[in-house]
Amino acid sequence: MSLFKNTIKNWMARAGERIFLGSTLRQVCLVMGGHIYFQTLSAAVQLDLFTQLARKGPLSREAIASMLGIAEKPVRILLLGCSALGLVRRHRDGRYGNTRLADMLLNADHPRNFLAVIRWQHFINYRAMFHFGEALRGNRNVGLDEISGQGATLYERLSANPELEKIFQDAMQTISVQANHLLVESVDFSRFSHVLDVGGGNATNIINLASRNPGLRASVFDWPSVCALATDNIMKAGLEDRLNAVSGNCFSDPFPAGMDCILFCHFMTIWSEVKNRALLRKAYESLPSGGAAMIFNMMQDDTETGPLSAAMGSPYFLTLATGEGMLYTWSEYESWMKEVGFRKIVVQKLIRDHGVIVGIK
C-alpha cells in the first residue's frame, strides 16, 4: 500500500499548474524575487564567474569554488540560482558552463557585454530603489540620500565622487554603444556642420558621429568633471581637431554659438515637462533657420502601457536621478516641439524601443 494519498489528483494538479499557470506563476515569482535574482546575477558578476567560465569552462563545482576562492556550499547556492535563471547550464557530467546569453552579455571578453550596466544597477541604483514607495508619496528623489555628497541630482553628487562617476559613465557608454549607433545610422548628419550634444557624457556619441561623417564638427556640453572624461576620450580617438567638450549647466549657461544641430540623447528623460520645454525653446532660439533639434531616446508608447524599458527607466528618474523625469511618450515630445515653434517635425521609430524626433527650425 502506498504511503501517499491522492496520487492521481496530485498529478493532475501539477499538470494543470504547468499547463495553465506555468508562465503566470513564473512571472509572479520573477517579480516577487526580483531583488534576490538581481543579487544572484550581480554577485556572480562581482566574482567574475561568467568571464572565467567563458575562458576555462565547463568546470566542476569544486573547480569553480577553488577558482573563485569561496567555499563549496555558497558556490552551490550561487550555481543553483544562475542555473534556474538560465545564466549557466549544468552539463550531463555535472560540470557547469555559460549559456549563450551569459557568454555574450556577461563575459568581459565579449565586445557587447553588459557588465558595466549591472555594476551601475548594483552600486548606484539598487539601494536607492528601496525608496520607490516613498518617492511616489513625496513626488521627489528620496533615494538620492543613499549617495553621499551635495546637490539635488544624482549627476551633481557623482561629480564629487570619482569612483561612482566612473561606474555611471561606463554604464552610459555601454548603453550608448548598444543604442546610439542607431541614431548615426538612421539620420543623415552630413547636412550639418556643428553638432552640440547636450549632456553628451564621455563623448562616445560624438566620436561615433565624427568617425562616420568626415568634416563634421561636434561638441559635448556637460559638467566639468564629465568634460574631463570626454576630452580624454576625444584625445585617445585622435579627433581633437573636430571635437571638443564645453563645460556648463544646460539650464543656467548659454549653449555655445555656431551650432546647427542640437542633440538631446538619453537626456530629456531626466527632467520635468517644464524644463524640457525650456530646453527646446533655448535650442530653438540658438539655432539658425534650417537648423535642427533632435531627441533620441527610448520612448513610452502613446497608449501609456509600456514598453518594459519605459516602466523600468521611469522609477529610476523619479526615485534617484532627479525626482522629476520619466520616459515620456512620442506625442508629448512632438507637442513640445510644435509649441516652441519648430516648423517641421519628423519621427523615426527604431529598434530597442528607441526613436528619434527631429524638429527643423
Ligand X SMILES: C[S@@+](CC[C@H](N)C(=O)[O-])C[C@H]1O[C@@H](n2cnc3c(N)ncnc32)[C@H](O)[C@@H]1O
Taking the least distance from each CB to ligand X, the nearer of 88 and 226 is: 226
Q: How far apart are CA 197 and CA 245, in angstroms?
A: 9
Please state, as a whole number, how many other Cβ atoms lie within 10 Å of the Cβ of residue 330: 17
Closer to ligand X by CB, 130 or 251: give it. 251
* Residue bearing cell 570626454: 230
Nearer to ligand X, 260 or 324 (CB): 324
Instruction: Name the residues that contact ligand X, by CB under 6 A.
Output: 155, 172, 175-176, 180, 199-201, 205, 221-223, 226, 249-251, 265-267
Distances (CA, A) of 142 to 137, 138, 276: 10, 8, 22
CB of 36 to ligand X, least distance (A): 28
| C-alpha to C-alpha distance for 330 and 320, rounded to whole angstroms | 24
Q: Taking the complex as a whole, how short is the minimal distance between the CB of residue 77 and ligand X, in angstroms?
A: 35
Distances (CA, A) of 96 to 36, 54, 88, 361: 21, 11, 7, 58
Q: How far is the CB of 271 from ligand X (least distance, A)?
A: 8
Q: Considering the complex, state which of residue 221 and residue 336 has its C-beta at the smaller distance from ligand X.
A: 221
Q: Using CB positions, name the residue nearest to ligand X.
A: 199
C-alpha cell belonging to residue 38? 538581481
Rounded to a whole number of angstroms, the minimum distance from the CB of residue 28 to ligand X is: 32
Phi, psi of 343 (to 5 degrees): -80, -30
Q: Which residues pair with 79 in a beta bridge?
A: none
Which parts of 159-237 fold into alpha helices (H)?
Answer: 162-186, 204-212, 224-236
Smallest distance from ligand X to CB 129, Å: 17
Measured in degrees and rounded to the nearest 5, phi and psi for residue 351 equal -75, 180
Residue 271 — φ and ψ, nearest 5°?
A: -115, 170
